[in-house]
Structure 1
Amino acid sequence: MLTNNGPKYFKIKITILDNIQDGFDGRIITLNDVTEYRVEIDNLKKEKESIEIDNKTKSDFLSNISHEIRTSVNGIIGMTDLTLMSNLKSDQRENLSLVKSSALNLLDMTNSILDFSKIQAGKMKIDNAEFNFKELIDEIVRLSTIKALEYKLEFKAKMDESIPDTLVGDSIRIKQILDSLIDNSIKFTKYGTIALTIEKLESIDKKINLKLSIKDTGIGIDKKDISKLFKGFSQIDNKDYTKKSLGTGLGLCICKGLVEMMGGKIEVRSRKDVGSVFSFNILLERGKKYSNTNIVNDKKPKVLVNNSISRRLNILIVEDDKASQMVIYNLFKKNGHICEIADNGQEALNLIENKQYDLVFMDIQMPVLDGLQATKIIRKSEENSNKHTPIIALTAYALKEDKEKFLSAGMDNYISKPFNMSELLKVVNSTIKKDDNNNTFLGSKQNDIDGDSLFLHLL
């Protein structure tokens, strides 16, 4: 109802009154003024929309910042790695190793901020896929033992043998949680032991409830400080302990968010100067094929994968960042491959029109024409021919949905910046082998090297 003071809202209730004997028939109409309630609802809706817009703006901003930082870090790490491959004095090698270590720490902080932002904005997704749980734990135990030894600590692990080998869940996020909690224990333990225990609490149909605990003999936590542990950007003041870097203060907050997204709960028990126990439970499904073979302490030698490339490659590097150009160019050129550089997608199209390449590294965010558009045009031009140019997306965009977007655009593979040299080699090798299998005529190309292998040296 429009009034001089603005619209008024009413809830109307109609009650029927009738008396057949007396011939009475009537209605009682009740109007209840709900203007304040309606205005409050409208204000809440507007506030919700404003928060969603702010969250999207913040998420986009952090995503872009992450992209720029990862691109810069890729240049630092890549050029450092290339320099470390040259003849250096011991002090120069040590200095460059510290540069690389600092760059990797910066990358870890960037990833933490991005994960925290995604959890806060509700954009973090859990990827449920079948994986070998015991192989995952075996790898975590191996790496954690090495980390602990660096600080003269002992690392122990014990796992319930009845836990199936194959489970369904997000193995990457499970590893992230365990790595973060174990790193924290190592960080705040002067001497003694870090122990990982994995128990099977119960099985409900296909689901298994697992409890994972990390116990340490570290400095412990005061009761008054425990409430601060799982809050974002919160750190406990330990003036008497400065052994290792304290980080961003986001690790435990991210762990809590990930555990809750997997249907679990994270808890902590601690005593000052005695130690702490961080534990969490997660619900995972049994895989289609599973056994009870315990391989946590499996000491069988790892099978080395032959990552050699048996022919000289014509490579096109499509990248607008000069440092990234130099890293990739020098790495492949040094190992006998022929490399050319395009600063954007349009330059790449001009080169590809006149020459066939064995491999294209395609950046995504570039001026003039971006990597996605360039890839779609390349694939369109190949539709009526037997030609197929392998394209690897090399980008600082690191989200799972980004990878799916790149592959759906026609790219053959994907690697995110900053890349590990061995990981880059593995991606290149698998992409080339897949392309060779699909095009058997490639084995007779003129750029084969008489059966000898060219190796991309691992750092």
Structure 2
Amino acid sequence: MFLRFLQKIVSFGVDETMEQATVNRAKRINYYYLILITMLTLSILYSYLTGISSLDLINGIVLALTLAAFIFIPVGRRSNLSSLLVLVLTTLIILNAYLFNLGVASVLVLAFYLVFPLVAVSVNGKHGIYIPIVLGLTTVVLNSIPQLETAIHLDLYNALLFFTTYALVVAVSIYVERTNRELLAKLKESRTQVENEMLEKDEFISRLSHKLRTSLSNIALINSLVHDERLSYEQQELMETLKASTNLLIKDVNNIVEIASPGMVDYKRSITSFDLSSVLEESISILKSGGSLVEDISISRLDKLKTYIIGDPGLIRSLIVNIFYGVNDYRTDTEPVQIHIKSLKESPSHVRLEFAFKVSTINGVALVDHVRSLQQGNSHSGSNLTNAFTLLLESESTLSAVTESQGASLSFFQDFTKDPTKETAPDAGTIQGTTPPGKPGIALKDAKILLVEDNAINQKIVLLSLNKLVNRIDVASNGKQALEMFGSKQYDLILMDIMMPIMDGIVATQKIREIESTGDRHVPIVAVTANALAGDRENCLAAGVDDYIAKPFTTEMLIRKMRNWLA
């Protein structure tokens, strides 16, 4: 109880969201206030018992000033002023003890006097040393005035010994403060350097991911276009090999991005309100683009969520993708990996969801042993389950595993805050996409599509993929051109790239939504982009994009999205 009370006093006025160095300094000042208040209280008690009323009055005034400074000038808001006041009040206490020789009490205060310079620089930095210097000069003068009968008077030898020691303490305090300041400057410089290096790595991964995804997407789309029966058997075998190799590369790229991106990007920047059904659908799309068949996965929603939830959708996608790949490596029959989502705890404002992955396998014991070895700290570098386990540790959760009669089950939980301002669609329990309410259906063949893409090769491949299904597709090479075409023509759907010169897809989408805000028109915009790092999808949706497809993708996936928004 006492320690808890002491902790509250030390943390009074301290904002824990401040930098750690500032928090530590504020707590040191509060500790010092606590010491002063204790010293003054004991001094008042001593003067009361000895009958020195004048000393009692002085100590009472200083105690009142100390309490007022502690309460009304909290260290969290005005730390510099608070630290200055605490040093001034300490000076008054020391001078008071020096002017009124109280025997043992004064000796204790003077002992504290010798360490005062170190305390001063610890709470007020390089400026804190000025007050101990002024105090030292003042006491030298007071020691040489014999008319002060109640004051402490040291003889020449003791005065030289005492004030020389004090001067050495002042010198040491200056050295310590300067050394600490230089060390902190070096630490800050090192931290800045590391942050810059991490930023460069993030940018490199982003550029590399963009290039790989764009190229792989083109290869995948070309593969889907080659269905010529005139190909010989050997040529068809080569195309199948090329397709399988491409799918394997797509899986690896998705794996790298879904694993590496959350590790480099601060999760706090990805916290947003999202629809769990949409995240599940996106996870399925990522798995399908990596070569997994829809028959390999079965998702069932047992929760009763009616609203959006606030959390990190990128983390959920990463966990689903990594754990699926991890358990799928152990699958030994044709039964799909079953993903069950249910609510463990729920309140009007919060919900804890469990994600359970059930796999039919004769290697269930080996799978569970693999997870348990991760729990014991054994590393399996590069494995999907290792990556998922690391992500869960960072989010203060864990991966559990148990054997079952027909295989094994892996599960994890995540806590979310409900977003009562956004309700899910009636079919939120499925992984299907949603259609804008009240929108008249348009057949894909009759739709007017605007493709916004700066890369000529990408334009050609998308047009080749869609030309048999869509009669009219206009092409814009950048966001500015798309904006001009949007203002002059009517379109039923826009396929928007994000990284483009002159005007990118984010700005173009925002401007299109600004134009639409003046009327009742709303054209669905689907982002088709190689930007697939953590937070990219959220940035697109925040700009006004209706849906998001990350490269690489299949023609079937693109067509399904288009039909969904045109239906």
- Quickly name the TM-score band, shorter chain normalised: 0.5 to 0.7
- Check conservation: 2:326, 2:383, Cα contact below 8 A: no
- Check conservation: 1:359, 1:391, Cα contact below 8 A: yes
Q: How does 1:46-65 map to 2 (within 5 A)?
A: 46-65=189-208
Greater CA deviation, 63-72 or 372-381?
372-381
1:23 aligns with 2:150: yes
1:81 partner SS: helix
* Aligned equivalents of 1:191, 1:311: Cα separation in 2: 40
Deviation at 1:116, TM superposition (A): 3.4
The number of residues matched between the two structures is: 383
* Aligned equivalents of 1:220, 1:390: Cα separation in 2: 47
Within the candidate set 366, 370, 393, 1:260 is matched to 393
1:318 aligns with 2:398: no
* Aligned equivalents of 1:43, 1:64: Cα separation in 2: 31
Instruction: Report the residue type matching 1:48 in the other structure.
Output: R
RMSD between aligned residues: 5.4
Deviation at 1:59, TM superposition (A): 0.8
TM-score scaled by structure 1?
A: 0.62
Deviation at 1:399, TM superposition (A): 4.3
Within the candidate set 326, 333, 336, 1:184 is matched to 326
Deviation at 1:204, TM superposition (A): 8.1
Higher relative CO (Cα under 8 Å, sequence separation at least 6) belongs to 1
Deviation at 1:264, TM superposition (A): 1.0
Change (3 A) 1:385 1:201: closer
Change (3 A) 1:359 1:57: same
1:363 aligns with 2:443: no
TM-score scaled by structure 2?
A: 0.52
Structure richer in helix, relative to its length: 2
2:264 maps to 121
1:71 maps to 214
Change (3 A) 1:46 1:102: same
1:437 maps to none
Deviation at 1:67, TM superposition (A): 1.1
Structure richer in strand, relative to its length: 1
Change (3 A) 1:392 1:25: farther
1:259 partner SS: helix
1:110 maps to 253
Within the candidate set 412, 419, 434, 2:553 is matched to 419
* Aligned equivalents of 1:148, 1:404: Cα separation in 2: 25
The C-alpha deviation readout for 1:39-78, integer Å capped at 9, x for no partner, is 3222222111111111111111101111111111111111
* Aligned equivalents of 2:548, 2:337: Cα separation in 1: 36
Greater CA deviation, 176-185 or 187-196?
187-196
1:265 partner SS: coil
Instruction: Report the residue type matching 1:259 in the other structure.
Output: L
- Check conservation: 1:357, 1:389, Cα contact below 8 A: yes
* Aligned equivalents of 2:274, 2:542: Cα separation in 1: 20
- Check conservation: 2:206, 2:533, Cα contact below 8 A: no
Change (3 A) 1:175 1:93: farther
- Check conservation: 1:66, 1:110, Cα contact below 8 A: yes
Change (3 A) 1:166 1:371: closer
Change (3 A) 1:259 1:95: same
1:309 aligns with 2:452: no
1:330 aligns with 2:457: no
Question: Structure 2: 5+ residue runs without aligned partners?
Answer: 1-86, 102-148, 154-161, 421-428
* Aligned equivalents of 1:303, 1:349: Cα separation in 2: 27
Greater CA deviation, 169-178 or 355-364?
169-178
The C-alpha deviation readout for 1:368-399, integer Å capped at 9, x for no partner, is 44334444565666777777655433211124
Change (3 A) 1:389 1:195: closer
Question: Structure 1: 5+ residue runs without aligned partners?
Answer: 1-11, 236-248, 289-295, 434-459
1:317 partner SS: strand
2:266 partner SS: coil
* Aligned equivalents of 2:236, 2:478: Cα separation in 1: 34
